[in-house]
Amino acid sequence: MNLRTLSNKFAIAVILLCFGSANAFAQGDFYTEDFAGGFPSDWTTVEVEGNGQPTSVWFYTTEGPTGAFATAPLASTTAANGWMIFDSDLNCNLGANQDSWLISPAIDCSQKENVWLLFETFYRTYSCRPQIRVGTDLSDTASWVAIEVFPGITANQFGGVIDGDQSINPQVIDIDISEWAAGLSNVYIAFQFLSSNETLNGGSPIGCAYNWQIDDVRLTDLNPAPANDMRVNAFFAIAPNAVTPYTQVEPIGFIADIQNIGSATQDSPVLTMTVVNSNGDVVYEEDLEYGAIASDSLAENVFFPLEFDVPAVPDVYTATYSLAIDNPDSDSTNNTREFTFVVSDSLFSKDLGATRSVAPAADESFTYGNAYFVPQGADLYARYITFGVVNADELVGKSVTTYLYSWNGVTDGRYIEPGDYTILAFNSYFFEGDEGTELITIPVDLDGAEIALEDNTYYIAAIEYATDDDQSCFLQAADNLDYAAMNFYTDSLDKPRYAGVLDVSNTGTLDLLGFGLDIVPVSRLSISSAPVGTTDIILPDGAVALFPNPVNELATLEFNLEEQSSTVQVSVFDVTGRMMQQQNFDNIKSERIQLNAKDLANGNYMIRVRTDAGIKTLKMAVQH
């Protein structure tokens, strides 16, 4: 008898037997809970703060989230028998705190030198913070240690971002809680969902986030991490734009965080950046060598020493971060990160195609756009803005206003205040309802004029939607490019580059965080090297001022022109681009002109001032 054959048959039988009895739990587990069939009788849920509704606590589900902005249900290993959820969106305690705990029974860890908590989860954030709480005294939960599950995550991101893939479902979380559990006989584990002013991460208001779903909870005394496992994290720098005109290319720098998620120290990891053009030629390759990186350690904020000087010719590039270690990596799938960027003839874009749509939950009216830096603007002109929506059939008869702003780069924290940017041009688009998801391209200026650009200037191409009803406008957007690391890199070198800007409720203040640095609108800007039509010169700041603003009855335009203008035309437009007033004046230099707003309805208006020397566009708010 062939003993090797018999041995192999026996081994196969054992493997099949093991597969046949497989479940979510493993050797070393000394506590497990898969929430089979309902809320466990020995678990509890506590509403610390909330609105007292049945949905203000954790509950058992086989369906998943059901709020207005529901995510996908948790696809855990034992999802067929149900799981637990805190559905913040369904509860929606808008503007107030949500603080709900799901607490395990007392677990005996007295014979354990090491304790790891593992669970499967699916989570999306919006100014909330999932935490694990560990303690031994039910009467003093304030003393329990708090462990943040998804540190550094920003509004609208999924929890998978910390593992480099927002689509992970389920995401397996493992946390070493030995410090607070090993050797103790009565250990409680709590899953705390918290939304308060302390948890703001780019979304507003609090108390109405998405949800947190968990299943297949277990405690083990065996380290679940393999010996050799390193990864390139999701924090890696991409190009400042997805698409940049060849006249505006700048050197691109690189940075990527790497992490040792294995149990063994890695002595000499090497991170390589390779850039390949459309012909397959390697046009840039650089290594970054690290020293020893201990288990569960992060190496962050290390810049590649040389930047890539992008050739000023149209092309498509693929850039790849790749990580190598001395020993075979147990999971090589997370050792690379790749992105594409394009050098175009005349187009600026932050996206390579829409992947989703966006609209704020707090207010139907909003402005959303992208910030583009122009290093070489002389003899170039802004011509078109391109955008798209996904619900044009619901917007028949409504309109959006597009704006081209110039911005001086001054910020107040993450905000751009109205005094730091200038309206260069605006236009309007009325929806007919049959646009579908086709992109819409219109001239930057209502009159079709092209706007002269300047060197070393930020320009913002923005789309404003204003409504007095509850009809939302869902703009096309992309969430497959994350500009966070790029922003960190460029800001560290005092040459910051940005992604999207957002103004919920059209207040005039622009938020550079937007819906998160990993979401940008489809808001593209086309430029030309020679004017095709007419061009307009923009009057300098201070040439024309408007006050008061907002206005009730009479507004004043104060002129401070360098030279007397033989003619001055003042036109007032509503947000749809319809002209409401027009006046002509002669021989103006340092005069004041009054505008009558008595007959204008409450709302926002654009004032276009045209002089011999150029034009100026101002926003005016009417409030009776």
**Which is higher by pLDDT, 483 or 22?**
483
- Residue 604 — very low, low, confident or very high, per pLDDT cuts 50/70/90? confident
**Which is higher by pLDDT, 153 or 102?**
102
Mean pLDDT of 551-555: 93
- In tens, the pLDDT along 88-109 reads 999 999 999 999 999 999 999 9
Looking only at the bridges linking them, the beta strands covering 243-245 and 336-344 are: parallel
Residue 166: predicted pLDDT = 87
Domain(s) of CATH 2.60.40.10: residues in the chain: 230-344
The DSSP letter of residue 6 is H
Whether the model pTM is above 0.85: no
Report CA torsion sign: 369, 372, 378, 383: negative
Domain(s) of CATH 2.60.120.200: residues in the chain: 24-220
Distance (Å, whole) CA 578 – CA 301: 51
- Residue 377 — very low, low, confident or very high, per pLDDT cuts 50/70/90? very high
Residue 15: predicted pLDDT = 29
- Residue 19 — very low, low, confident or very high, per pLDDT cuts 50/70/90? very low
Is 70 exceeded by the pLDDT of residue 7? no
Distance (Å, whole) CA 485 – CA 497: 11
Distance (Å, whole) CA 311 – CA 249: 8
Mean pLDDT of 276-284: 97
Residue 25: predicted pLDDT = 60
| Residues across the chain | 624
Is 90 exceeded by the pLDDT of residue 375? yes
Local structure of 265: helix, strand or coil: coil
Distance (Å, whole) CA 596 – CA 572: 10
- Residue 372 — very low, low, confident or very high, per pLDDT cuts 50/70/90? very high
Residue 161: predicted pLDDT = 87
Per the DSSP assignment, residues forming a β-bridge with 441 are 386
- In tens, the pLDDT along 505-522 reads 999 999 999 998 999 999
The DSSP letter of residue 266 is B
Q: In this structure, what token pair is assigned to residue 180?
A: 């607070």
Provide φ and ψ at 89, rounded to 5°. -65, -40
Percent of the chain with pLDDT over 90: 84
Domain 347-528 has what CATH class?
mainly beta
- Residue 217 — very low, low, confident or very high, per pLDDT cuts 50/70/90? very high
- The amino acid that residue 234 corresponds to is A
530-to-244, 378, 443, 534, 561 alpha-carbon distances in Å: 18, 11, 15, 11, 28
Distance (Å, whole) CA 314 – CA 514: 29
Residue 26: predicted pLDDT = 58
**Cα Rg of the chain, angstroms:** 29
- In tens, the pLDDT along 157-198 reads 999 988 878 889 999 999 999 999 999 999 999 999 999 999
The per-residue DSSP string of 319-377 comes to EEEEEE-SSPPS-GGGSEEEEEEEEESSEEBS-SS--EEE--SS-S-EEEEEEEEES--
Mean pLDDT of 269-290: 98
Is 70 exceeded by the pLDDT of residue 87? yes
**Of 32-36, 340-344, 393-397, 577-581, minimum mean pLDDT range:** 577-581
Task: Decide which of 3.30.70.260, 2.60.40.10, 2.30.130.10, 1.10.1370.30 is the CATH code for 230-344.
Answer: 2.60.40.10
Question: What fold is seen in the domain 539-622?
Answer: Immunoglobulin-like (2.60.40)
- Residue 575 — very low, low, confident or very high, per pLDDT cuts 50/70/90? confident
Q: Residue 286, by phi and psi: left (phi above 0), alpha (psi -120 to 50) or beta?
A: beta
Looking only at the bridges linking them, the beta strands covering 535-536 and 450-452 are: parallel
- In tens, the pLDDT along 497-507 reads 999 999 999 99
Domain(s) of CATH 2.60.40.3080: residues in the chain: 539-622
- The amino acid that residue 425 corresponds to is A
Average pLDDT of the residues of the chain? 92
Residue with tokens 């994290």: 233
Report CA torsion sign: 597, 598, 600, 604: positive
User: 589 near 612, Cβ under 8 Å?
Assistant: no
- In tens, the pLDDT along 325-343 reads 999 999 999 999 999 999 9
Is 60 exceeded by the pLDDT of residue 51? yes
CA-nearest of 350, 347, 361 to 70 is 361
CATH architecture assignment, domain 24-220: Sandwich (2.60)
Distance (Å, whole) CA 232 – CA 234: 7
User: 620 near 604, Cβ under 8 Å?
Assistant: yes
